[in-house]
Structure 1
Amino acid sequence: MRALVAAVSVLALAACSTPEPGGNAPSKAPAPQGLRVEEVAGGFQHGWDLGFLEDGSVLVTERPGTLKLVRNGQVTPVDIDLTDVQARGEGGLMGLVVHPGGERFTLCYNTVRDVRLVTFRLDGTTATKVKDLLTGMPSNSSGRHSGCRPTLAPDGTMYVATGDIAQGRNPQDRTSLGGKVLRIDAETGEGAAGNPFIGSADANERRIFTYGHRNVQGVVFRPDSDQVFSSEHGPSTDDEVNLLKAGGNYGWDPSRGGTKGGYDESVPMTDLERFPDAVPAVWSSGSPTEAICQAAFWNGKLAVTALKGSKLLLFSLDEAGKVQNVSIPDELNDRYGRLRAARTAPDGSLYLTTSNGTDDKLLRLTGDV
């Protein structure tokens, strides 16, 4: 295992420009002191997500359609049939969530027909398919705005971040699974009990937790709280961090109520004029966007990776979930290129992947933040 110990003292940086209404401009904050970055393994190709097994080893998905097992710094391909993965553009093998006990895991990926969730059982370095957990999530043939990140909630349900596949009507259409955060039963794939539209006659609507999203990249649960946050790509402005509220509309509508064809990205990320009850973001990037990606809680802060921005953003939140300030650790600011996955390990460290396309890294973060 190779280790890279980064510098200790860094300068404070502001995270963004002033957001649109609904976000909040964070104050400057001191960057972390004593942050350490360890390179656990390399040689990945677009490392997209990761998950931890009981023995401390790590599963890593690669967007072209391969799954790797990292144990003691050694990388081993998992023997798994993923021949139906369609890797094109932003799509391919994407999200991963490991079920309790570590014997099963669920992958999210594009096929020629859809984006789907598939559950597998792991035995050593061999994985066999258990079931298609959820099929029929919309997919763009180009791969654009595919989502797709599954995460297990403390109550055992599975939340799934989806993209709108750059189809204007999807975000506001509650019969479509695109541009949503879903909440499903982790065993059946059906809408979970207590969902806001669980009484609907439409099976897709029963699965919806929130809607009106563009391309959600991460969902995370705040420890010791009932708060759920998402991280989402904006168009030319306004990446968003959102505090999710059951049944909430987050205001993205590139079809302008079905009056516009195509995909009008000039509309606001949270259109409070069209949807006065839309839920404002707790943070917006303004311009330029960072292409924020996955989110994880780490040492009391909300850590969010950035692809285009090539950095890690650390959000300090108050008890209500309002952003107080944002810091950007210099150790990860344009040092490793595009950062994608972020998951908090059982030992309290934070694991990240880079997503530059060749020789991508699995990183482990420890220290004070």
Structure 2
Amino acid sequence: MPLRRRSLLAAPLALPILAAPSLVRAQEAETFRSQHGAFRLRTFATGLENPWGGGFLPDGHLLVSERPGRARLVAPDGTVSAPLTGLPEVVTGGQGGLLDIRPAPDFATTSEVYFSTSTLVTGGVVTRLYRARLAGQGFTEVRPLLDAVPPQARGRNHFGGRIAFSPDGAHVFLTCGDRYEQRERAQRLDDLAGKILRLTRDGRIPADNPFAGKQGQRGEIFSYGHRNPQGLAFNPATGSLFSAEFGPLGGDELNLIRPGQNYGWPEVSYGREYSGQLIANGRTAGPGFTDPVKFWVPSISPSGLAFAPPEAPAVWRGGLFLACLRTPGLLRLRMEGDRVGAEEQLLWGRVRLRQVIFAPDGALLVLTDEARGRILRLEAA
């Protein structure tokens, strides 16, 4: 395991678990030093239950999802709204629930929002992608765009569910986990589990998708051989798509996603079974499989990821940030184009993180994976 940076572990995180918005705004910030400069940490918002995803609206409000099935708006001062109305029912057992939620790039003119769920259908549970409109304190015109079929009757794990938009805003991408109980689904091209999918904004299959129009293969598939990817973002410096996915016991991966490529799960892996037994007889690579650009043994359990925008403060600029669940904390990777450089552990060992979001003012927000969840704000000192 990488060495922990003692300067970030000098004192426990003395932040309130639950506080009124006025107390949150008044809270004194802690200051830390990283390899790239100093930053301050404070609690931005509290009172959220397992926040999972989100994105900023043009008026400065943050739209955020809670895994039990709620979505809320967080004002620029950290005030959290009542639950928004109009969301469909979700399956909340295991790792399921309301997963990612993202305002469309052209939200200012369309009011469109996309979100993912675990949803009960005939035959079992699927990862589902929705499109809706957000008006005031509720959602309207809620429409399912895709179900990651076939449904699976057993198990409530490995739904994936992370959403990203192409740089031109014309396409929406969705990660789908292998659903855990039947991991071989990740290698099947007639099955949407264990894949990264690409659709037009209205849910159609793009004609230039790698498997579009091919008999016995699902045209929605963009890449396959994934275990449970919960990080997905485009590199603003290159336009390339990256994903982060959970390995089993070790073998977490950061992947550079190319159309039609096979990322190997479960035929190859750097991890082991939870029992300690080898996976695929210990194979880590093979012909036809695309290697990760980085992997971790032991696990860091990377969930959401975000690239620092070009205009970000110097303390964040040039970094790719991963929200980690185990070991809990924030991991920074230095990027040079699409090449991954040195890593740095921030807030390591402090709190489980689910997602990373950059605010319009350049601050870095992280969503904590807690029943009494928080949004932490990291800003240049």
The reply on whether 1:198 has 2:198 as its aligned counterpart is no
TM-score by length of 2: 0.81
Residue 342 of structure 2 corresponds to 325
Cα pair 1:105 1:120 within 8 Å, conserved: yes
Cα distance between partner residues in 1 of 2:55 and 2:179: 25
Cα pair 2:87 2:139 within 8 Å, conserved: no
The reply on whether 1:171 has 2:186 as its aligned counterpart is yes
The runs of 5 or more residues in structure 1 that have no matched partner are 11-29, 257-262
Q: Secondary structure at the match of 2:80?
A: strand
Match of 1:7 among 23, 31, 36: 31
Q: Give the aligned residue type for 2:176.
A: T
Cα pair 1:249 1:278 within 8 Å, conserved: yes
Cα pair 2:48 2:373 within 8 Å, conserved: yes
Match of 1:311 among 320, 324, 329: 329
Cα pair 1:95 1:149 within 8 Å, conserved: yes
Residue 59 (structure 1) shift: 1.0
Q: Secondary structure at the match of 1:105?
A: strand
Cα distance between partner residues in 2 of 1:193 and 1:366: 42
Q: How far does the alpha carbon of each residue in 1:64-110 deviate from its partner, in whole angstroms, 9 at most, with x for none?
A: 11111111311112332335211011111101111122512111001
Q: Give the aligned residue type for 2:300.
A: E
1:345-360 matches, cutoff 5 A: 345-357=359-371, 359-360=372-373
Residue 141 of structure 2 corresponds to 129
- Quick one: structure 1 residues 181 and 136, their matched pair in 2 at CA, closer, same or farther if it must change by over 3 Å? closer
Match of 2:292 among 247, 265, 281: 281
Match of 2:119 among 85, 106, 111: 111
Cα pair 1:233 1:293 within 8 Å, conserved: yes
1:23-172 matches, cutoff 5 A: 30=35, 32-71=36-75, 72-99=77-104, 100-102=106-108, 103-113=111-121, 114-137=126-149, 138-139=151-152, 141-156=154-169, 157-166=171-180, 167-172=182-187
1:186-225 matches, cutoff 5 A: 186-187=201-202, 189-202=203-216, 205-225=218-238
The reply on whether 1:291 has 2:297 as its aligned counterpart is no
The runs of 5 or more residues in structure 2 that have no matched partner are 1-23, 270-274, 309-316
Q: Secondary structure at the match of 1:8?
A: strand
Residue 9 (structure 1) shift: 2.9
Q: Which stretch has the larger CA shift, 343-352 or 205-214? A: 343-352
Q: How far does the alpha carbon of each residue in 1:274-310 deviate from its partner, in whole angstroms, 9 at most, with x for none?
A: x4121111111112x1111111001221100101211
Cα distance between partner residues in 1 of 2:133 and 2:356: 23
Residue 42 (structure 1) shift: 0.3
- Quick one: structure 1 residues 136 and 322, their matched pair in 2 at CA, closer, same or farther if it must change by over 3 Å? closer
Q: Secondary structure at the match of 1:205?
A: coil
Number of paired residues? 333
Q: Give the aligned residue type for 1:212.
A: G
Q: Give the aligned residue type for 2:289.
A: A
RMSD: 2.4
Q: Secondary structure at the match of 1:48?
A: strand
Cα distance between partner residues in 1 of 2:348 and 2:280: 28
Q: Give the aligned residue type for 1:105.
A: V
Q: How far does the alpha carbon of each residue in 1:165-194 deviate from its partner, in whole angstroms, 9 at most, with x for none?
A: 01122110011111111111111x222242
Q: Give the aligned residue type for 2:306.
A: A
- Quick one: structure 1 residues 224 and 322, their matched pair in 2 at CA, closer, same or farther if it must change by over 3 Å? closer
Q: Give the aligned residue type for 1:91.
A: G
Q: How far does the alpha carbon of each residue in 1:245-282 deviate from its partner, in whole angstroms, 9 at most, with x for none?
A: 111100102699xxxxxx99842699555x41211111
- Quick one: structure 1 residues 154 and 39, their matched pair in 2 at CA, closer, same or farther if it must change by over 3 Å? same
TM-score by length of 1: 0.84
Q: Secondary structure at the match of 1:170?
A: helix
Match of 2:264 among 247, 251, 254: 251
Cα distance between partner residues in 1 of 2:138 and 2:38: 39
Cα distance between partner residues in 1 of 2:377 and 2:152: 32
Query: Identity of aligned pairs, percent?
Result: 32
Residue 16 of structure 1 corresponds to none
Q: Secondary structure at the match of 2:37?
A: coil
- Quick one: structure 1 residues 264 and 151, their matched pair in 2 at CA, closer, same or farther if it must change by over 3 Å? farther
Structure 1 segments (4+ residues) deviating >6 Å: none
Cα pair 1:351 1:364 within 8 Å, conserved: yes
- Quick one: structure 1 residues 293 and 255, their matched pair in 2 at CA, closer, same or farther if it must change by over 3 Å? closer
Cα distance between partner residues in 1 of 2:88 and 2:154: 17
Q: Give the aligned residue type for 1:284.
A: F
